[in-house]
Amino acid sequence: MIRVDEEFLGSLDGPFDAAACMSCGVCTALCPMEIGSLPRELFRHAILGLAERIRQQEDTIFSCLLCRSCEASCPAEVPITENVRILRRHLVKHQLGLGE
Amino acid sequence: MPLQKKAVLGILSDNLRRRGSVLPLSRRLHTRWARGLGIPLGGETVIYTGQMYQLIPAISKMARRMASLEDSWLTRVMGAGRVVNKVLNISWFLSRARRRERAVYDSMLRDIALLLRASGVEFGYLYGDDMYTGALVHDQGVDSALAAHARRVVAALQAHGVKRLITVDPHTTHMLRSVYPQLIEGFEIEVRSYLEILDERGLVPREMHDGPVVVHDSCVYARYESVVDSPRRLLTSIGAAVVEPELSGVWTHCCGGPIESLFPRRAHEIAARRVEQLAESLSTAHVEAAGRGEQGERSQRGTVAVMCPICLVNLTGAAEASAGRYRDISRLLADSVIGDRARWLARRERGQKALPAAQADVEADPGVLPSAP
């Protein structure tokens, strides 16, 4: 069963901004890491509040090169790398226990 | 089993909190590059290394050790390593680099300093207070460690009365120019890369560069800080035939460096892919040079110019037999503009002594940056 955490987006440390994403897939197609869920699917999980899915994708989130190749091509100008950093901050604090 | 993120990031952030850097270097090691250059302490305009070039040999050694741990049973005891590291700096043992490798990266910083001087830029250096900016910790999202460290860095800059920073690598440039102003209220120090300053002031080559140069852009310079044209103009000004690889400028391809600490094998794969693209451009440049009837090994073989020490270490690591064709851009520029470094320094010293006293005072003032950036 998929559990939706309605508070998830609000609990993130920073302005997670993927609302403009229209799921065109250019980011995923160009990503040098070639991980299918990076970054589009990952952001969809965050927007939907699927906190558990985000936690399960720890490796994917930390695999991002932050190279901005996706961002340079995004037609919706989504701040992709900043969003990834925000998800990392969430995992660092709540999953890895390195927040303090 | 992959490397334990909690242990790796924990060690790096503990080091930043307790020892001032993700992989702490002694003051002697991180300031050694400046020996004999007579760079004054402090001033309004300073060269800021952020210890990035000095850290590369240690990072490289650490990454090799991490790569050997990846998928081994030892990853299970990495948590214990972090506990020990809080008391005893085990990262020092893991990252102890060879003297020769350290000397190579130190020489790049010396070249950058000489190029700035050759362009008439006067600057100081903070020596022990030239601190790592926390780029890796920022990228990994360990912001609690970063904020406190950034305050220490800024306090040191303020204590020295610094108004302008000349940065030498893309990561330090980005941290100080774009991240620190968001972290530290009122941070208004001007930050420019040495490539931008040299481009603005112009270079006077003593010997023109012979042969094609393939440009590998750093993702951070090209896509975060818009430093794309300056390196090309500088290379062209020394006579290099600039060759653009398949992916260049804002479309450049990553070197894999950002995931080296957690996924070393994948990082190496990314670097190898980039090396393939660059090798193709070198091959094309070689054919074109031969077609123009250009003589000499260097004019036909070509070189890859790299402007980030992290890119350089990753690409040379993946390039194997052709690693010698990868050069930091500072080396190419200094070979053309400075030539024999020791002679250039000796000539400059003689010139300084010959200056009238008043003029010499002005030139020695690190706060004076003609046409301040």
How do residues B127-174 score in pLDDT, each as one tens digit?
999 999 999 999 999 988 899 999 999 999 999 999 999 999 999 999
Q: φ, ψ for residue B45 (rounded to 5)?
A: -115, 120
Give bridge partners of residue B165 from the DSSP assignment.
B46, B191
pLDDT value for B356: 56
Residue, of B305 and B89, whose pLDDT is higher: B305
pLDDT value for B363: 42
3-state secondary structure chain B: CCCCHHHHHHHHHHHHHHHCCCCCCCHHHHHHHHCCCCCCECCCEEEECCCHHHHHHHHHHHHHHHHHHCCCHHHHHHHHHHHHHHHCCHHHHHCCCCHHHHHHHHHHHHHHHHHHHHCCCCCEECHHHCCCCCHHHHHHCCHHHHHHHHHHHHHHHHHCCCCEEEECCHHHHHHHHHHHHHHCCCCCCEEEEHHHHHHHHCCCCCCCCCCEEEEECCHHHHHHCCCCHHHHHHHHHCCCEEECCCCCHHHCCCCCHHHCCCCHHHHHHHHHHHHHHHHHHHHHHHHHHHHCCCCCHHHHHCEEEECCHHHHHHHHHHHHHHHHHEEEHHHHHHHHHCCCHHHHHHHHHHHHHHCCHHHHHHHHCCCCCCCCC
pLDDT value for A100: 65
A70-91 pLDDT tens trace: 999 999 999 999 999 999 999 9
- Residue identified by tokens 């690190």 is B366
Confidence of residue B95 (pLDDT cuts 50, 70, 90): low
Say whether pLDDT at B359 is over 60. Answer: no
Q: Are residues B245 and B314 in the same domain?
A: yes
Q: What is the mean pLDDT of chain B?
A: 88
Say whether pLDDT at B365 is over 60. Answer: no
Scored b (16 or more CB within 10 A) or e, B270-300 reads: bbbbbbebbbebbebbbeebeeeebeeeebb
Say whether pLDDT at B249 is over 80. Answer: yes
Q: Are residues B238 and B285 in the same domain?
A: yes
Contacts with B, A 22-51, CB within 8 Å: 32-33
pLDDT value for B296: 63
Instruction: Answer for the pair A18, A47: CB distance below 8 angstroms, yes or no.
Output: yes
Confidence of residue B349 (pLDDT cuts 50, 70, 90): confident
Residue of A nearest to B9 (CA): A98
Q: Are residues B137 and B219 in the same domain?
A: no
The distance of A49 to chain B (nearest Cα, Å) reads: 20
Please give the residue range of the domain that contains residue B212.
205-337
Say whether pLDDT at B321 is over 80. Answer: yes
Q: Are residues B183 and B243 in the same domain?
A: no
CB contact under 8 A, A65 and B219: yes
Scored b (16 or more CB within 10 A) or e, B27-44 reads: eebbbebbeeeebeebbb
CA gap B355, B363 in Å, rounded: 10
Instruction: Answer for the pair B93, B15: CB distance below 8 angstroms, yes or no.
Output: no
Average pLDDT per block of 10 residues along chain A, 100 residues long? 87 92 92 90 94 94 96 95 96 88
CB contact under 8 A, A62 and B219: no
Query: For chains A and B, what is the number of CB pairs under 8 angstroms?
Result: 74
Q: Which of B2, B142, B273 sits opposite A92 (nearest CB)?
A: B142
Q: Are residues B239 and B101 in the same domain?
A: no
Closest by CA to B9, choosing from B66, B73, B68, is B66
Say whether pLDDT at B200 is over 90. Answer: yes
Does B371 fall in a domain? no
Q: φ, ψ for residue B262 (rounded to 5)?
A: -110, -35
The distance of B273 to chain A (nearest Cα, Å) reads: 9
B181-195 pLDDT tens trace: 999 999 999 999 999
Does B367 fall in a domain? no
- Residues on chain A touching B143 (C-beta within 8 angstroms): 13, 89, 92
CB contact under 8 A, B254 and A65: yes
Say whether pLDDT at B298 is over 70. Answer: no
List the single range of B225-229, B240-244, B285-289 with lowest mean pLDDT: B285-289
The total number of residues written for chain A in this structure = 100
Q: Which of A59, A67, A88 sits opposite B254 (nearest CB)?
A: A67
Mean local confidence (pLDDT), B338-345: 96
Q: Checking DSSP bridges between strand B190-193 and strand B164-167, what pairing results, if any?
A: parallel
Residues of B with CB under 8 A from a CB of A: 2, 5-6, 9-10, 13, 138-144, 219, 223-224, 250-251, 253-254, 256, 258-259, 262-263, 266, 270, 273
CA distances from B167 to B81, B131, B150, B159, B163 (A): 34, 12, 16, 19, 13
pLDDT value for A1: 74
CB contact under 8 A, A62 and B250: no
Does B343 fall in a domain? no
pLDDT value for B300: 57
Does B368 fall in a domain? no
pLDDT value for B284: 85
CB contact under 8 A, A62 and B262: yes
Does B315 fall in a domain? yes
Q: Are residues B215 and B263 in the same domain?
A: yes
Q: What is the mean pLDDT of chain A?
A: 92
CA gap A83, A18 in Å, rounded: 8
- In sequence order, the 6+-apart residues with CB closer than 8 A to the CB of B284 are B243
- Residues on chain A touching B141 (C-beta within 8 angstroms): 85-92
- Residues on chain A touching B2 (C-beta within 8 angstroms): 59
Confidence of residue B352 (pLDDT cuts 50, 70, 90): confident
Q: Are residues B238 and B137 in the same domain?
A: no
CB contact under 8 A, B144 and A96: no
B221-233 pLDDT tens trace: 999 999 999 999 9
Instruction: Answer for the pair B219, B250: CB distance below 8 angstroms, yes or no.
Output: no
Closest by CA to B107, choosing from B33, B189, B32, B51, is B33
Q: Domain count for chain B, please give it.
A: 2
Mean local confidence (pLDDT), B234-242: 97
Does B359 fall in a domain? no
- Determine the 3-state secondary structure of A24 from DSSP: coil
Does B256 fall in a domain? yes
Closest by CA to B133, choosing from B179, B183, B172, B167, is B172
pLDDT value for B372: 32
B49-81 pLDDT tens trace: 999 999 999 888 877 777 777 777 666 667 777
The distance of B210 to chain A (nearest Cα, Å) reads: 32
Q: Which of B142, B143, B258 sits opposite A66 (nearest CB)?
A: B258
CB contact under 8 A, B144 and A59: no
Q: Are residues B255 and B216 in the same domain?
A: yes
Say whether pLDDT at B361 is over 60. Answer: no
pLDDT value for B299: 57
Q: Are residues B171 and B223 in the same domain?
A: no
Say whether pLDDT at B202 is over 90. Answer: yes
Q: Are residues B65 and B178 in the same domain?
A: yes
Does B17 fall in a domain? yes
Q: Are residues B229 and B285 in the same domain?
A: yes
Say whether pLDDT at B358 is over 60. Answer: no
Q: Are residues B25 and B104 in the same domain?
A: yes
Test the B interface: residue of A16, A54, A62 with most B CBs within 10 Å: A62
Confidence of residue B88 (pLDDT cuts 50, 70, 90): confident
CA gap B334, B327 in Å, rounded: 11
Say whether pLDDT at B251 is over 50. Answer: yes
pLDDT value for B368: 34
Point out the domain boundary residue: B199, B229, B247: B199
pLDDT value for B370: 34
Mean local confidence (pLDDT), B238-242: 96
- Residues on chain B touching A64 (C-beta within 8 angstroms): 259
The distance of B183 to chain A (nearest Cα, Å) reads: 13
